[in-house]
Structure 1
Amino acid sequence: MAWMNPSSPQQHRMQDMLISYFWSGDVIRGRCVSDIVLSGTVDVPVPPTRLLADWQREISSHMILEPGDVEVMPLARARARWPDYTRCVQAVSDWTCAPGLPDVLASSDVALMACRGARYHHDGGQYGGAAFCNLFLSEDRGLDLHFPSTGHRIPLTRGTVVIFDTGQPHGVIQRGSSGFNAAEFAPDRDCIQIFLTWELPIEDPHVGHALKVDFDVAPSTSLQLDSEQVLLNGTPVIVCPDSGRWCRAD
C-alpha cells in the first residue's frame, strides 16, 4: 500500500488533481474536490433532558457504537421530543446565507447522526454529488473535526456548524492528538457527539460557487467509470483511517 502525502510542497498541484467522480442523473461527472471548509458557531439551545435521555438509551441499548464509528439516529422520534428543532434548523439556515447559500437547507436531505470520534475517511464514494453541512449538538467533549489535507481543525462545541466537500478526508479526533487513536474513545469516556447533517447538492450553483468547485474535469476518464469514486493524479485512492493520508487503493 503506497502512501501519498498531500501535505508535501506539491500539495497544491496534487489537490488540483484530486477529482471526485459522481452520478449526475444517469452519467458519471467529474469535479475537483474543494479544499474550502466553512465553519462557524450558531446559537442553539441545549436539547431537552428528555431528548438527551432518549439519545443515551438509543446508543446504549440499540446501537453498537465502537470507537471511530458514525451511525444514524432516529430523527423522526427525536423531533417529537425536540420543541427547538425548528429553531436549530433556522439558525443554520440563517448562517448559510452569509456564504451565499439562501434556502439550500430547505431542499436538502437531513439526518441525525452519532459518533464516538470518527476514523479518517472521505464520503466521495457514496455522496460525491453532495457537500455536507453539519450542526453539532453536544457540549464540548475535547474533540476536533480535523481535515488533514487542508489543515483545518475545528473544535466541536454545541452550535458548531461546518460545510465541506464530501471528497475531503476528515475525522473526529481528540484535541491535541495528531491522528485517530481508538484508545482515546474508550466506553467509560463521555466522548459521543450528536449532530444533524444535510446533503447539499454540489451541482446547485450556490453550493458549487461557495466551495469554488470546477466541474467536468477529466471528461475522458468520466466516460470509463461506472461508480462514484475519488482519484488522485488519476489513481484510485483510499484514506488511512488513523492518519488521514491518501494511499493507493491497490
Structure 2
Amino acid sequence: MNHRPQQHQAQDLLTSYFWSGDGIRSRCVSDIVPCGRVDVPMPPARLLADWAREISSRLVLEPGDVEAMPLARARARWPDYARCVQAVSDWACALGLPGVLAGSDVALMACRGARYHHDGAQYGGAAFCNLFLSEDRGQDLHFPSLGLRIPLSRGTVVIFDTCQPHGVIQRHSSGFHVADFPPGQDCIQLFLTWELPIEDTHVAHALQVAFDTAPSTSSQLHEEQVWLNGARAAVCPDSGRWCRAGESPGSCGDLP
C-alpha cells in the first residue's frame, strides 16, 4: 500500500540539500510512504534474551532514544535472518525496487518510542526501509505532516523519505510524551533498517523524487539540511511540527 496525502498545501515547499559525490544537490521531499506487512517469524528466545541484556546493560534507553544494536552478533543467533531479509526484498521488488536492498547498508536498531525528527541532516541522500520485529506494543509510526499513522507490529514494513518528519508514539497519543514510556513497561521496538540511495532510479521513481529543484542555493551550501519555504527548518520533538532552525519549539508551525 502507498500512502499519499489527499490535499497539498502549495505554500509548503520542502527541499532537501544532500551530498551527491563531492557537492551538495537539491531535491524535493517525497510524501509517498509505501507500507505493508510481511510474514516473518518471531525471533528465537535466545536472541530476544540477548537483545534484552544489551538494551538494559549497554544502551539504557530513555524515552525517545533510538540506538544501534550489534547486528553481526544477532545474525549468528538468528537462523531466520535471511528469511526476514528475503521477505522485505520480495515486498520491495513488488513495488518496483528490484535488488535495491542487496546493495544497501543495513542496521539493527532499538527505540523506546522516538521523538519527532527528520534525518535529512545526515541521511538526505537516502530513503529508509524499516522492518519492525517486535510484537504489537500499542505504538504507531507517525508522520504528522502527512496525517499518517502506521500501527507497529512484527512484520510491519515501510519505506519513507528520511527528510519527512516522523516519530514513534503511543497509539492513543497525539504527540510524543515521555510519560507514555514509563520505567518497567515493555516499550522497546526493534527493527532492521536499510538505507536506500535516493538517486537510485528505482527509488527515485517509486517515491516520485524530483532532483535539482534549487540549484542556486545548493551551490552555496556545505552541509546537508532541509528547508521549508526558503528557510532552513527543524522539527519540534514533541509535536512533529516544522519550525525555523535555531528557534525554540514554541515557534513551531510559524514558518512563512
Map Cα deviations across residues 10-47 of structure 1 (whole Å, 9 max, x no partner).
x52244x2000000000100000001111000000000
Percent same amino acid among aligned pairs? 78
1:62-73 map, 5 Å: 62-73=58-69
| Residue among 117, 120, 131 paired with 1:121 | 117
| Residue among 18, 22, 27 paired with 1:22 | 18
Structure 1 match to 2:127: 131
Matched, 1:151 2:147: yes
Change (3 A) 1:246 1:98: same
Mapped contact 1:136–1:161 kept (Cα < 8 A): yes
Matched, 1:239 2:235: yes
1:1-250 map, 5 Å: 11-15=8-12, 17-250=13-246
**SS of aligned partner of 1:50:** helix
Mapped contact 1:14–1:232 kept (Cα < 8 A): no
- Residues in 1 aligned to 2:101 and 2:9: alpha-carbon distance in whole angstroms: 31
- 1:13 partner amino acid: A
- 1:63 partner amino acid: L
Structure 1 segments (4+ residues) deviating >3 Å: none
- Residues in 1 aligned to 2:26 and 2:199: alpha-carbon distance in whole angstroms: 11
* TM-score, structure 1 as length reference: 0.95
Map Cα deviations across residues 78-122 of structure 1 (whole Å, 9 max, x no partner).
000000000000000000012100010000000000000000000
**SS of aligned partner of 2:232:** strand
RMSD, aligned CA = 1.1
**Following TM superposition, by how much is the alpha carbon of 1:249 offset from its aligned partner in structure 2, in angstroms?**
0.7
* TM-score, structure 2 as length reference: 0.93
Structure 2 match to 1:3: none
**SS of aligned partner of 2:130:** strand
**SS of aligned partner of 1:127:** coil
- 2:172 partner amino acid: G
- Residues in 1 aligned to 2:10 and 2:234: alpha-carbon distance in whole angstroms: 19
**Following TM superposition, by how much is the alpha carbon of 1:64 offset from its aligned partner in structure 2, in angstroms?**
2.3
- Residues in 1 aligned to 2:54 and 2:114: alpha-carbon distance in whole angstroms: 19
Structure 1 match to 2:252: none
Specify every segment of 5 or more residues in structure 2 that has no aligned partner in the other structure, as ranges.
247-256
